[in-house]
């Protein structure tokens, strides 16, 4: 494997890796990224880059203007996860129960590396680059708060990347259209009539109702959506019953749905309601659905995706191509609903390990740190292509 890294990135490669390790050592949860924001702001100050703090609560936005021309934005997320890190990394998390287990530490390091290089080439480009360091990607939708505070004002296109342990170093996943799913959640409360297990005839058995409902919900994917589409309906939680010989009068279910298109997202949502109504009538149970829309699907625009493919191919050659697709969700989708852009994936599976041995959101997550130099190199190629 040959990587054609930018020479400017190779020169500061150790710095980029050191920054990632510092962020990894001091992880912070969503909207609690206070130290993280301070460190980012200090680096931007050292680079001579104008910036604002407390954007979208705890976010940071920096900007370099090279004169007249378009404005493009590059984004990195900042938050960690409520996971206890295991293992013996020398830069293991110092914050109990909090860990960078998804790669956001590396995302920030890559964007800071890009910013430093660009700060030293102010006379070679035209236009403006905006560096968006966004809090609270992990479930709280920090992108919406950044948008509300104006981070996209005047921006023509936006680009974001994600370290991706499902692909090895030297591969970059780039694709037009959906690359991550809409991620919704729901809770269902079933109320019936309890009683003795030996006298079911006078009851409305909520556990039986729940079992019928769970099976019926699985037909949405198998019988209502196109088999060629990517959709998921999962029940991940069941609570009900107190004893072996007592028929429960209440059961609670909770789950998630995933879809790559808004059409399938709405189809699934509607079918859940219809199935609940039918089973409620059939069994005489009172069933209440609380459905919460999560992140929309992440759908890349065609021209920005072509831009990324061109920039990535100069770094990894034929390693640039279709990503390993996931049904995960990502709030970069909110940016893509507002302006054109592309979200792409940097292969980062640790060297000499199976690509599935250190998945995202696990307590021993780690990356091949050479992937950081790949990401910064692609960002720089993008800026050069768009603003030269």
Domain co-membership, 65 together with 141: yes
CATH of the domain at 247: 3.30.70.360
Q: What is the mean pLDDT of each run of 10 residues along the chain (388 residues)?
A: 86 98 99 99 98 99 96 99 95 98 99 97 89 98 99 99 97 98 98 98 98 98 96 98 98 98 98 99 99 98 99 97 95 99 98 82 97 98 96
- Is residue 2 one of the residues assigned to a domain? no
When divided into structural domains, the chain yields a total of 2
How far does Cα 332 stand from its chain's mean position? 7
Domain end: 245, 260, 295, which one? 295
The CA–CA distances, whole Å, from 157 to 105, 168, 300 equal: 24, 28, 11
- Is residue 226 one of the residues assigned to a domain? yes
Domain end: 247, 264, 295, which one? 295
Domain co-membership, 165 together with 311: yes
**Helix 13-25 / helix 34-46 crossing angle, nearest 10 deg:** 160
Domain co-membership, 117 together with 159: yes
The predicted pLDDT at position 218 comes to 98
Which residue among 32, 77, 79, 138 is the active-site one? 79
Domain co-membership, 114 together with 211: no
Residue numbers of the domain that contains 196: 182-295
Tens digit of pLDDT for each residue in 126-170? 999 999 999 999 999 999 999 999 999 999 999 999 999 999 999
Q: Is the dihedral of CA 162, 166, 171, 177 positive or negative?
A: negative
The predicted pLDDT at position 351 comes to 86
Domain co-membership, 148 together with 62: yes
Is residue 14 annotated as a catalytic residue, yes or no? no
The predicted pLDDT at position 123 comes to 73
Domain co-membership, 238 together with 365: no
The CA–CA distances, whole Å, from 119 to 123, 172, 173 equal: 10, 26, 28
CATH of the domain at 118: 3.40.630.10
- Which are the contacts of 185, defined by CB distance < 8 A and separation ≥ 6? 254, 255, 256, 257, 291, 292, 294
Residue 157, strand partner residues = 72
Is residue 79 annotated as a catalytic residue, yes or no? yes
- pTM here is 0.94
- Is residue 159 one of the residues assigned to a domain? yes
- Which are the contacts of 100, defined by CB distance < 8 A and separation ≥ 6? 23, 24, 27, 80, 81, 93, 365
Domain co-membership, 21 together with 99: yes
The predicted pLDDT at position 33 comes to 99
- Is residue 1 one of the residues assigned to a domain? no
Domain end: 276, 295, 314, which one? 295
Specify whether the CB–CB gap between 232 and 308 falls below 8 A.
Answer: no
Strand order in the sheet with 341-349: 50-55, 59-65, 128-134, 71-77, 157-168, 341-349, 172-173, 320-321
Domain co-membership, 201 together with 250: yes
**Distance between CA atoms of residues 383 and 304, nearest Å:** 12
- Is residue 241 one of the residues assigned to a domain? yes
Specify whether the CB–CB gap between 341 and 300 falls below 8 A.
Answer: yes
The predicted pLDDT at position 1 comes to 60
Domain co-membership, 270 together with 377: no
The predicted pLDDT at position 191 comes to 99
Specify whether the CB–CB gap between 248 and 241 falls below 8 A.
Answer: yes
Domain co-membership, 19 together with 97: yes
**Distance between CA atoms of residues 359 and 204, nearest Å:** 43
**Distance between CA atoms of residues 207 and 140, nearest Å:** 33
Which residue among 33, 77, 137, 205 is the active-site one? 137
Specify whether the CB–CB gap between 258 and 327 falls below 8 A.
Answer: yes
Specify whether the CB–CB gap between 186 and 255 falls below 8 A.
Answer: yes
């Amino acid at each position: 494997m040959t990587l054609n890294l930018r020479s400017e990135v190779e020169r500061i490669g150790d710095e980029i890796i050191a920054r990632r390790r510092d962020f990894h050592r001091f992880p912070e949860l969503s909207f609690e990224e206070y130290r993280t924001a301070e460190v980012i702001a200090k680096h931007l100050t050292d680079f001579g880059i104008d910036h604002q703090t407390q954007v979208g609560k705890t976010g940071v936005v920096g900007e370099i203007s090279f004169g007249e021309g378009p404005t493009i934005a590059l984004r990195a997320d900042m938050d960690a996860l409520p996971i206890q890190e295991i293992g013996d990394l020398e830069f293991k998390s110092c914050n109990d129960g909090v860990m960078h287990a998804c790669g956001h530490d590396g995302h920030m390091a890559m964007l800071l590396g890009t910013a430093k290089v660009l700060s030293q080439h102010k006379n070679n480009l035209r236009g403006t680059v905006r560096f968006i360091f966004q809090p609270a990607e992990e479930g709280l939708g920090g992108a919406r708060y950044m948008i509300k505070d104006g981070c996209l004002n005047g921006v023509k296109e936006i680009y974001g990347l994600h370290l991706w342990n499902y692909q090895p170093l030297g591969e970059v996943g780039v694709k037009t259209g959906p690359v991550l799913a809409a991620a919704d959640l729901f809770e269902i409360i079933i109320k019936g009539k309890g009683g003795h297990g030996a006298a079911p005839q006078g009851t409305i058995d909520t556990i039986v109702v729940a079992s019928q409902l769970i099976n019926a919900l699985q037909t949405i994917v198998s019988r209502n959506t196109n088999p060629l589409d990517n959709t998921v309906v999962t029940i991940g939680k069941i609570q009900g019953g107190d004893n072996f010989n007592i028929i429960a009068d209440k059961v609670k279910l909770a789950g998630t749905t995933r879809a790559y298109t808004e059409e399938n997202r709405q189809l699934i949502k509607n079918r859940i309601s219809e199935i609940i109504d039918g089973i409620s009538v059939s069994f005489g149970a009172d069933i209440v659905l609380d459905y919460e829309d999560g992140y929309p699907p992440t759908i890349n625009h065609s021209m920005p995706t072509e831009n990324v493919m061109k920039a990535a191919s100069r770094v990894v050659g034929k390693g640039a191509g279709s990503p390993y697709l996931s049904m995960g969700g990502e709030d970069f989708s909110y940016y893509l609903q507002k302006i054109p852009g592309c979200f792409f994936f940097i292969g980062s599976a640790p060297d000499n390990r199976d690509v599935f041995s250190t998945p995202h959101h696990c307590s021993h997550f780690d990356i091949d740190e050479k992937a950081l130099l790949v990401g910064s190199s692609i960002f720089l190629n993008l800026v050069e292509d768009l603003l030269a």
